[in-house]
Amino acid sequence: MDATQRMVCQEDFFNPLTSMGMQMSCILVISHFFHLVLKALGQPGPIAQIFAGLVLGPSGLSNVDRVRDFFFQASAAEYYEIFGFFCRMLFMFLIGLETDVSYIIRNIKASSTISYCGILIGTLFGVAVSFFLHQQLMFNDKKKLGFILIIILVLTYTASPVVIRLAGDLKFATSPTGRLAISCSLINEITCLVMFNLIIVIHKKSLFRDGFLAILITGMVILVNKYVAIWFNKRNRNQKYLRNAELLFILSVLIGSSMIIEMFTSNSAISCFLIGVMFPKEGKTARTLLQKLTYSVHNFILPIYFGYLGFQFDASRLGSLSSVVIVVILVVLSIGGKISGTLLACQYLRIPLNEGVFIGFCLNLKGHADLLFIGQATNSLIGWNQDAYNLLLISIVINTVISGPILALLMRREENLFAQTSHTTLEFQNPEEDIRTLGCVYGPRHVSAILALISALNGSHRAPITPYVMHLIELTQKRRANVSYHELEDDELSDDEDYGGNDVVEINDAVDAFHAETKIIVHLSKAVSSFATLYEDVCNAAEDLRASIVLAPFHKHQRIDGKMESGKEGVRTTNQKILRHAPCSVGIIAERGLAGVPGFAQLLDSATVQQVATLFFGGPDDREAVAWSKRIASHQKINLTVIRFLSTGSSRVRSERVDDRDDVEVFMSLSSLETGKDVDNAFLSNFYNECVTSGQVGYVEKYVNNGAETVAAMRDIGDMYSLFIVGKGGRGHSPLTTGMSDWEECPELGTVGDLLASSEYNVNGSVLVIQQHRNSKKDLMDD
């Protein structure tokens, strides 16, 4: 090979595309190593990825001449700009898809107050320091106003992708404080991006043209996506997900519209976010996008994006004292503005100080649109010199590197603030707080009952519900082994997609129909494991989601003749382990009804009112059952009656009418509140005053001597209700249930629940058995 050929080969190898690909690969490898090391110290993934960029960049390996010549080429900047555009477009679209708009609307006052207080204080700090920075960094006095505005944006900006990723890594995304911080970051980012776009288009003197074009294109894409998603959902109903060609079409529309907007305005981040927010959330189209984009964005795009942020960090620019002073001033003012503004807002909103400090450091995370603020888009506005650009970039990196570890430290110190057990029982949860439920299904047969319970919970508009449904699939031997890549069927991604078979399609269809009727968004997931460890997936999911209750189906199902038939024994053992290890309350639903058709499962399909009875004997589980009942009582298709069983010697029954409703009659004994445990009496007294006296709930007291009379009393009401709600246990040695456990078949349902769900006991209603989460060993021993 002669010298000319060698030179050509060398040029082919050392080209911007090759160097960018190698850079991405190195960042992923090095960041994985740092993540393994820093994870043990409680540090989040973005910090490891920024450190990987630092190691690979001018402050690390790029000090070597050959490495620097390979990574830093004259024409590479354009390729990095294009890659950054695709990154921003995809993760802003994904953020829009995942955004809980209803939560932001419910908490718009708190979120906007915190966001704009931080922006206000940051603006004051920015104006105060920008004159000094302009004198130190810039030389063109004619562009001073533009410089001041950009400095204000850099100091006030919060990178919502960094906040969301950090919240996911540190597992505070589902906590009340974490959700508030994410909402604040989104409001902050959208506000800063709007201001940035206004600055650019006003400078270009094309405000109306560019603004109208961006709004028009965004609106057209939203409209197109609406009809395309509906069409794709109806096509190929037997498929679990979209085909690759259909997915490519949707992303092509997004990419094309974003490129047009980028050509005429400064960026398309807001448009991509709005397109994601307005994208239809039901059906396999949204499920496919979430599945594909979540994996790609979280495992490739964001790590490379954060790594590139650290890659641009050049410590050699800090050689002079004045440069160090400028960076320190920017970092201190950014942190000070966020903390002081957030604490001021939290003082007004009466949010605790520790939460305010935590949210303040969350809002100090940077590393997304602020790169646009100091990038090519503002060259015509300001005319950056290299020193100014690098010092501002260094301050952005340092802000994120400082805030990330501080947030991890605050989480370890403030364990109560982010305790996973904050919402583990319904009894002590604020009735107006968000209810997070995790429903488990083993197959399509169980979906209707779980969705009916979710619908019942949504009857109270005071307390919004966030439902999750997990498809539990037994891990069996794979049907095919050692299949070559070219032997895979068209659009087949992996063997994991085969698990669940056609059950997945039926479950998806049921959830889609449920969403169409109730407008409740149900988040679907899948767990594939052996029955021996399947409960761990459920418990881990409940802990990560901070679920208030886990709902699981009974292992038996009713035949047409009314008898209960056992299913897989693995389902029963999994339910038993969930009851023992779940980090929250647990409900087991046994479906029963007339002619084998469960009545309560028809809550959505039937126009008739469902009669529901809650049986109360005393104890924490029964209190949890009443707390659940309280939340479903306001459903328009549910007529709830609470039946309390008391010893005959307590009092004689006295009935009283509390309102003019014909279907609600209350039987209340004055002396009943003087019997039983004080905790039960106080709880029922509050429940009576709040729900019974208003006529919303019926209340009946039944007096019995022993277990036999209790069984007889329950037989009398067996055909009156479509759903019985009862606590699992926790009653101690109650004379009201003495002898009832002699024929017990399923101890996991408790004495009363097992009786109601047995084949020998003829009832026409389904049975929901609830176990309250125990926080201490003493509580467990009380059972």
Q: Can you give the three-state secondary structure of 443-484, one letter per residue?
A: CHHHHHHHHHHHHHHCCCCCCCEEEEEEEEEECCCCCCCCCC
Residue 544's DSSP bridge partners are none
For Cα atoms 235, 240, 244, give the angle at the middle one, nearest 5 degrees: 70
pLDDT digits (tens, 9 = 90+) for 190-199: 999 999 888 8
Nearest-CA neighbor of 447 among 418, 472, 417, 483?
A: 472
- Residue 494: the pLDDT is 45
pLDDT digits (tens, 9 = 90+) for 336-390: 999 999 999 999 999 999 899 999 999 999 887 777 788 766 666 776 777 788 8
What are the backbone dihedrals phi and psi of residue 642, each rounded to the nearest 5 degrees, phi first?
-100, 125
Domain count, the chain: 2
Torsion of CA 745, 750, 756, 757, to 10 degrees: -50
Q: Cβ distance 272 to 374 under 8 Å?
A: no
- Residue 377: the pLDDT is 61
Nearest-CA neighbor of 84 among 271, 277, 267?
A: 267
- Residue 741: the pLDDT is 67
Average pLDDT, the chain: 80
Report whether pLDDT(776) > 70: no
8-17, 462-471, 523-532: range with lowest mean pLDDT? 8-17
Report whether pLDDT(295) > 70: yes
Is residue 44 in some structural domain?
no
Q: Are 161 and 293 found together in one domain?
A: yes
Is residue 486 in some structural domain?
no
Q: Cβ distance 561 to 595 under 8 Å?
A: no
Q: DSSP 3-state helix, strand, coil percentages of the chain (rounded to 5)?
A: 60, 10, 30
- Residue 72: the pLDDT is 64
What are the backbone dihedrals phi and psi of residue 163, each rounded to the nearest 5 degrees, phi first?
-65, -45
Report whether pLDDT(712) > 50: yes
Nearest-CA neighbor of 94 among 357, 362, 230, 290?
A: 290
- Residue 709: the pLDDT is 84
Q: Are 639 and 771 found together in one domain?
A: yes
31/45 Cα distance (integer angstroms):
8
- Residue 659: the pLDDT is 41
Confidence of residue 181 (pLDDT cuts 50, 70, 90): very high
772/775 Cα distance (integer angstroms):
9
Is residue 53 in some structural domain?
no
- Residue 483: the pLDDT is 45
Tokens for 506, please give them. 């039926």
Report whether pLDDT(555) > 60: yes
Three-class DSSP category at 429: coil
Q: Are 254 and 297 found together in one domain?
A: yes
Residue 157, number of CB atoms within 10 A of its CB: 32
- Residue 354's CATH number: 1.20.1530.20
Confidence (pTM): 0.85
Q: How far is CA 729 from CA 25, 587, 697, 754, 774, in A?
A: 56, 12, 23, 11, 12
Report whether pLDDT(74) > 80: no
Nearest-CA neighbor of 585 among 442, 728, 778?
A: 728
Q: Are 384 and 459 found together in one domain?
A: no
Is residue 1 in some structural domain?
no
Is residue 567 in some structural domain?
yes
68-77, 253-262, 602-611, 773-782: range with lowest mean pLDDT? 773-782
Is residue 10 in some structural domain?
no
Q: Which of 372, 388, 420 is the last residue of a domain?
A: 420
- Residue 124: the pLDDT is 93
Report whether pLDDT(778) > 60: no
Q: Cβ distance 666 to 698 under 8 Å?
A: yes
- Residue 296: the pLDDT is 87
Report whether pLDDT(598) > 90: no
Share of the chain above pLDDT 90, in %: 24
Nearest-CA neighbor of 340 among 313, 306, 363, 317?
A: 363
Confidence of residue 97 (pLDDT cuts 50, 70, 90): very high
Between 486 and 24, where is the model more confident?
Answer: 24
Q: Are 415 and 371 found together in one domain?
A: yes
Between 675 and 454, where is the model more confident?
Answer: 454
What are the backbone dihedrals phi and psi of residue 187, each rounded to the nearest 5 degrees, phi first?
-65, -40
Confidence of residue 252 (pLDDT cuts 50, 70, 90): very high
Q: Cβ distance 135 to 507 under 8 Å?
A: no
Q: Are 441 and 415 found together in one domain?
A: no
- In the DSSP assignment, the letter for residue 745 is S
Report whether pLDDT(151) > 80: yes
pLDDT digits (tens, 9 = 90+) for 562-582: 677 888 888 999 999 999 999
Is residue 12 in some structural domain?
no
710/645 Cα distance (integer angstroms):
8
Q: Are 740 and 679 found together in one domain?
A: yes
301: containing domain:
76-307+315-420
Q: Are 381 and 448 found together in one domain?
A: no
Residue 406, number of CB atoms within 10 A of its CB: 16
Contacts 24+ apart (CB under 8 A), 735-740: 735/647, 735/705, 735/706, 736/617, 736/645, 736/646, 736/647, 736/704, 736/706, 736/707, 736/710, 737/617, 737/707, 737/710, 738/706, 738/707, 739/706, 739/707, 739/708, 740/707, 740/710, 740/711
| Beta strand residue intervals within 57-103, DSSP E | none
pLDDT digits (tens, 9 = 90+) for 33-63: 888 887 777 677 788 888 888 888 787 777 7
Report whether pLDDT(8) > 70: no
Report whether pLDDT(491) > 50: no
Q: Are 404 and 447 found together in one domain?
A: no
Overall average pLDDT of the 579-594 stretch: 87
418/408 Cα distance (integer angstroms):
11
Q: Are 129 and 267 found together in one domain?
A: yes
Share of the chain above pLDDT 70, in %: 81
Sheet with 723-727: strands ordered across: 523-529, 465-474, 435-441, 549-553, 585-590, 766-771, 723-727, 610-616, 638-647, 698-704
pLDDT digits (tens, 9 = 90+) for 318-339: 777 888 888 899 999 999 999 9
Is residue 541 in some structural domain?
yes
Q: Are 176 and 263 found together in one domain?
A: yes
- Residue 670: the pLDDT is 39
Nearest-CA neighbor of 239 among 490, 528, 518?
A: 490
What are the backbone dihedrals phi and psi of residue 553, each rounded to the nearest 5 degrees, phi first?
-80, 150
- Residue 478: the pLDDT is 53
